[in-house]
């Protein structure tokens, strides 16, 4: 290892420490950097990267754990749509140590852990030793995923990474790595498994690997050309190379602007694959709608088009299926063609209109198109003027190197709005992106009747509290950062209420609120009050429990002299409407009858049909009632026989 490699790596870490990204702790910065770089091709956002990090006491030598199905990160298992066709399972298990050498004891620890954690026949009670709840939760997720795709599983790949600042890997350490591979393959038949060591040199190589948005697309025939816009026919093998990186992975980042995700092998994609598999006298482009590429510029250089800032805005299903076709067959050359439109447009509004138009031509949910809504563009603009970056398009600003502290996602912005404007903390903390699929609940947050300046005020308040809390670093190292945002929302709400002296402040008061009034001492005092009151409880459960939050607000009302507690002690059910299909909201008496007939969870398959038959009502009404009970925390969320808590985690031995 060249000594300067370590010097350069330390310089990167020092800069991130100065930027407090993701914290000011060198070990955490190094850990995040490793996850970020190794998973670069998957283009995960900040929240997704952090969700996979499980470092802490009793982590079994595993610092991060990520599961992908067909290339898509399993982030929210309760809402994850498993493909209906064949599946590819990919697991990353990462360990990072900010030390000058690779230590055998790290792998000794992993050998014992892997022997138990990946043996999915073992129950948690049978596991030898003590493992953190975060690691066990990842194991539960893997178990559910593996069981869900077992009948459709085509391949399993597990990649281990051990990163440090070192270079030399001892023979005994490599032997341990080989032992881990053997143990892994004994649990997963036909599993492709590898163990990689990344020192300063390898980390720098990854760090310097820039996502290439400017690419050359070979074509066999140009059908039309106008300025820097083209319609061309490209061989499907050439197009596959265009969307594939040097290490034969799909360039997921090229699809950031595509409002849909890959649907798996549904009927449409099955037809596409069938067309690829059965060669005949009909060219592929005759049977397919083609691809749309949005660019900032394009030039015809004879035989290929050089395209700047490539974004594939329509044709993800076709692209993924073409990639899968070549990924699964030995033949890498194919003369058949796909039709590709290349449109050069610089203005954001024009680009968004193209994205909306090209994706509106097939069946698609309203929520998928929200990124291009006028109010979303307006929010982005108003936040830019306030010095913040609204990530309405996945990783748009992150990929430009914008400080993470200045980036706000739509889900986080929605939570801030529900907490401060709707004054429904329990709803805000448990809010998930699925609420945006419902027009009524989406419209409640992104309300064009309220002044557009409210968004800048909300973000300034949240940012002010976040900066202070981030400097405290008082979260227990054994616990998950996933409840941290819940704590921030509560602290933020209480700080505003304390300054105003009441929970019944008006929207105009928030719009005109001076975030500088939130002093460091005020945030720290509020934070310490919460931990003093609830330090002996399971914090993850505390911050997602409506009754506990109500108690917190009532106690804070008395302790800090905040008036009008009843104004904050509410839960706005409008964010979880039952009438999403135009149905009437069920009578509460009927809901209670349904509740009494429901058995203990987990319910067996077909329970809602049995309850419907008993009451002589429709199964749809029972499903709506169950949703109501779940939304009001009277029943737990359940999917495919698996019971989840209200934070989206699998409940152990339920």
The C-alpha atoms of residue 385 and residue 456 are separated, in whole angstroms, by 9
The C-alpha atoms of residue 52 and residue 96 are separated, in whole angstroms, by 13
Residue 370 near residue 442, CB atoms below 8 Å: yes
Give me the pLDDT at residue 578, please: 40
State mean pLDDT over 585-611. Answer: 88
Q: How far apart are the first and last CA of the chain?
A: 50
| pLDDT of residue 228 exceeding 50 | yes
pLDDT, tens only, 120-144? 998 888 886 679 988 999 999 999 9
Residue 230 near residue 222, CB atoms below 8 Å: yes
The C-alpha atoms of residue 280 and residue 221 are separated, in whole angstroms, by 20
Structure tokens at 375: 């109010």
Report the side by side order of strands in the sheet with 297-300: 215-218, 304-308, 297-300
| pLDDT of residue 331 exceeding 90 | no
Beta-bridge partner residues of 92: 66, 159
| pLDDT of residue 180 exceeding 90 | yes
Of residues 343, 330, 354, the one with CA closest to residue 293: 343
Give me the pLDDT at residue 11, please: 94
Average pLDDT along the chain: 84
State mean pLDDT over 266-276. Answer: 70
The C-alpha atoms of residue 611 and residue 618 are separated, in whole angstroms, by 9
Give me the pLDDT at residue 485, please: 64
| pLDDT of residue 401 exceeding 80 | no
Residue 196 near residue 209, CB atoms below 8 Å: no
Give me the pLDDT at residue 368, please: 46
3-state secondary structure 579-622: CCCCCCCCCHHHHHHHHHHCCCCCCCCCHHHHHHHHHCCCHHHH
Of residues 592, 620, 590, the one with CA closest to residue 608: 620
Q: How many Cα atoms within 13 Å fall on the side-chain side of residue 283?
A: 14
Q: Identify whether 48 is preceded by a cis peptide bond (ω within 30 of 0).
A: no
Structure tokens at 314: 């329509």
pLDDT, tens only, 461-484? 999 999 898 877 644 444 444 445
State mean pLDDT over 83-87. Answer: 78
The H-or-E segment that residue 339 falls in is strand 337-344
Measured between alpha carbons, how far is residue 287 from residues 190, 265, 290 in Å? 35, 17, 9
Task: Please say whether the dihedral angle defined by the alpha carbons of residues 166, 172, 174 and 179, taken in this order, is positive or negative.
Answer: negative
DSSP per-residue codes, 492-549: HHHHHHHHHTBS---HHHHHT--GGGS-HHHHHHHHHHHHHHHTTS-HHHHTT-HHHH
| Strand boundaries in 3-86, DSSP class E | 64-69, 72-73
| pLDDT of residue 362 exceeding 50 | no
Tell me, what DSSP letter sits at residue 334? -
Q: Identify whether 512 is preceded by a cis peptide bond (ω within 30 of 0).
A: no
For 269-273, 296-300, 440-444, 497-501, which range has the lowest pLDDT when averaged over its residues? 269-273
Tell me, what DSSP letter sits at residue 644? B
Give me the pLDDT at residue 18, please: 86
Structure tokens at 592: 């209670």
For 79-83, 105-109, 572-576, which range has the lowest pLDDT when averaged over its residues? 572-576
Report the side by side order of strands in the sheet with 229-235: 221-226, 229-235, 337-344, 291-295, 311-314
Tell me, what DSSP letter sits at residue 449? T
Give me the pLDDT at residue 543, please: 59
Structure tokens at 81: 């749509």
State mean pLDDT over 344-373. Answer: 60
Give me the pLDDT at residue 91, please: 97
Angle of helix 546-560 relative to helix 520-534, nearest 10 degrees, comes to: 120
Residue 40 near residue 490, CB atoms below 8 Å: no
348: phi then psi, degrees, rounded to nearest 5? -60, -40
Q: What is the largest CA-CA distance in the chain?
A: 80
Structure tokens at 67: 């599961």
Beta-bridge partner residues of 337: 235
Give me the pLDDT at residue 516, please: 95
Measured between alpha carbons, how far is residue 511 from residues 91, 567, 649 in Å? 45, 19, 35
Beta-bridge partner residues of 234: 338
| pLDDT of residue 49 exceeding 90 | yes
State mean pLDDT over 222-245. Answer: 94
Give me the pLDDT at residue 484, please: 58
> Who contacts 259 (Cβ-Cβ below 8 Å, separation ≥6)?
355, 356, 359, 364, 368, 369, 371, 372
pLDDT, tens only, 63-78? 999 999 988 899 888 8
The C-alpha atoms of residue 608 and residue 606 are separated, in whole angstroms, by 6
CB atoms within 10 A of CB 448: 11
Give me the pLDDT at residue 125, please: 83
> Who contacts 455 (Cβ-Cβ below 8 Å, separation ≥6)?
379, 382, 383, 413
The reported pTM is: 0.75
Q: How far is CA 448 from the centre of its chain?
A: 27
Give me the pLDDT at residue 365, please: 39
Start-end of H helices in 53-197: 104-117, 133-149, 171-187
Give me the pLDDT at residue 541, please: 53
CB atoms within 10 A of CB 263: 16
Report which listed range, 18-27, 170-179, 305-314, 645-654, is most confident.
170-179
State mean pLDDT over 495-516. Answer: 95
Could you tell me how many helices (H) and strands (E) the chain has, helices first?
25, 17
pLDDT, tens only, 599-644? 999 999 889 899 999 999 988 889 888 888 887 778 888 988 899 8
Measured between alpha carbons, how far is residue 565 from residues 506, 508, 550, 556 in Å? 15, 20, 9, 9
pLDDT, tens only, 428-449? 887 877 777 677 788 889 988 8
Task: Please say whether the dihedral angle defined by the alpha carbons of residues 429, 430, 431 and 433, taken in this order, is positive or negative.
Answer: positive
Q: How far is CA 79 from the centre of its chain?
A: 11
Instruction: Give the confidence band of 291 by pLDDT, cuts at 50, 70, 90.
Output: very high
pLDDT, tens only, 527-580? 988 877 765 554 555 555 677 888 888 999 999 999 988 877 665 555 544 443
Structure tokens at 283: 């060219």
Give me the pLDDT at residue 349, please: 64
| pLDDT of residue 263 exceeding 60 | no
> Who contacts 16 (Cβ-Cβ below 8 Å, separation ≥6)?
22, 29, 33
């Amino acid at each position: 290892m060249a000594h300067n490699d370590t010097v350069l790596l330390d310089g990167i870490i020092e800069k991130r420490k100065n930027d407090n990204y993701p914290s000011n702790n060198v070990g955490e910065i190094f850990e995040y950097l490793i996850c970020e770089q190794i998973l670069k091709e998957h283009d995960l956002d900040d929240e997704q990267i952090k969700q996979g990090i499980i470092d802490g006491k009793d982590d079994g030598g595993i610092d991060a754990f990520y599961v992908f199905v067909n290339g898509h990160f399993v982030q929210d298992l309760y809402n994850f749509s498993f493909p209906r066709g064949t599946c590819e399972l990919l697991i990353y298990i990462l360990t990072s140590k900010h030390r000058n050498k690779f230590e055998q004891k790290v792998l000794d620890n992993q050998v014992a852990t892997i022997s138990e954690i990946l043996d999915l026949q073992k129950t948690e009670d049978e596991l030898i030793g003590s493992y953190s709840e975060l690691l066990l939760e990842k194991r539960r997720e893997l178990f559910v995923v593996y069981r869900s795709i077992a009948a459709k599983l085509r391949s399993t790949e597990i990649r281990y990474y051990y990163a440090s600042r070192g270079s030399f890997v001892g023979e005994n350490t490599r032997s341990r790595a080989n032992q881990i591979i053997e143990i892994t393959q004994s649990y997963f038949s036909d599993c492709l498994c590898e163990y990689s060591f990344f020192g300063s040199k390898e980390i720098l190589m990854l760090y310097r690997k820039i996502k290439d948005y400017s690419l050359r697309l070979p074509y066999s025939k140009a059908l039309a050309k106008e300025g820097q816009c083209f319609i061309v026919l490209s061989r499907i093998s050439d197009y596959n190379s265009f969307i594939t990186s040097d290490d034969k992975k799909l360039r997921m980042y090229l699809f950031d602007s595509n409002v849909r995700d890959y649907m798996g092998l549904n009927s449409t994609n099955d037809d596409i694959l069938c067309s690829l598999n059965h060669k005949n006298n009909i060219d592929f482009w005759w049977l397919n709608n083609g691809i749309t590429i949005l660019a900032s510029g394009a030039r015809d250089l004879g035989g290929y088009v050089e395209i700047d800032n490539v974004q594939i805005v329509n044709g993800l299903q076709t692209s993924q299926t073409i990639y899968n076709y070549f990924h699964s067959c030995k033949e890498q050359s194919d003369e058949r063609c796909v039709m590709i439109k290349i449109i050069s447009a610089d203005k954001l509004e024009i680009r968004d209109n193209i994205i909306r138009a090209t994706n509106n031509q097939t069946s698609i949910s309203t929520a998928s198109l929200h990124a291009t809504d006028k109010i979303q563009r307006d929010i982005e603009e108003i936040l830019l003027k306030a010095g913040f970056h609204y990530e309405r398009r996945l990783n748009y600003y992150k990929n430009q190197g914008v400080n993470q502290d200045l980036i706000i996602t739509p889900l986080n912005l929605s939570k801030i709005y529900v907490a401060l404007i709707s004054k429904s903390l329990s709803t805000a903390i448990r809010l998930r992106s699925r609420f945006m699929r419902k027009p009524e609940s989406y419209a409640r947050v992104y309300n064009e009747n309220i002044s557009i300046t409210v968004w800048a005020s909300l973000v300034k308040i949240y940012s002010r509290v976040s900066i202070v809390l981030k400097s405290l670093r008082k979260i227990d190292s054994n616990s998950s950062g996933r409840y941290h945002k819940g704590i921030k929302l509560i602290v933020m709400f209480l700080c505003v209420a304390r300054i105003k002296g009441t929970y019944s402040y008006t929207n105009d008061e928030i719009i005109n609120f001076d975030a500088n009034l939130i002093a460091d001492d005020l945030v720290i005092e509020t934070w310490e009050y919460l931990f003093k009151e609830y330090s002996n409880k399971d914090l993850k459960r505390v911050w997602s429990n409506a009754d506990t939050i109500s108690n917190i607000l009532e106690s804070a009302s008395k302790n800090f002299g905040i008036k009008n507690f009843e104004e904050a002690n509410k839960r706005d059910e409008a964010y979880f409407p039952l009438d999403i299909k135009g149905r009437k909201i069920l009578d509460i008496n009927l809901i209670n009858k349904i509740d009494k007939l429901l058995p203990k969870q987990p319910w067996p398959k077909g329970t809602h049909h049995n309850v419907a038959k008993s009451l002589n009502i429709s199964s749809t009404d029972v499903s709506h009632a169950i949703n109501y009970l779940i939304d009001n925390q009277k029943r737990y969320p359940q999917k495919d026989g698996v019971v989840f808590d209200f934070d989206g985690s699998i409940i152990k031995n339920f």
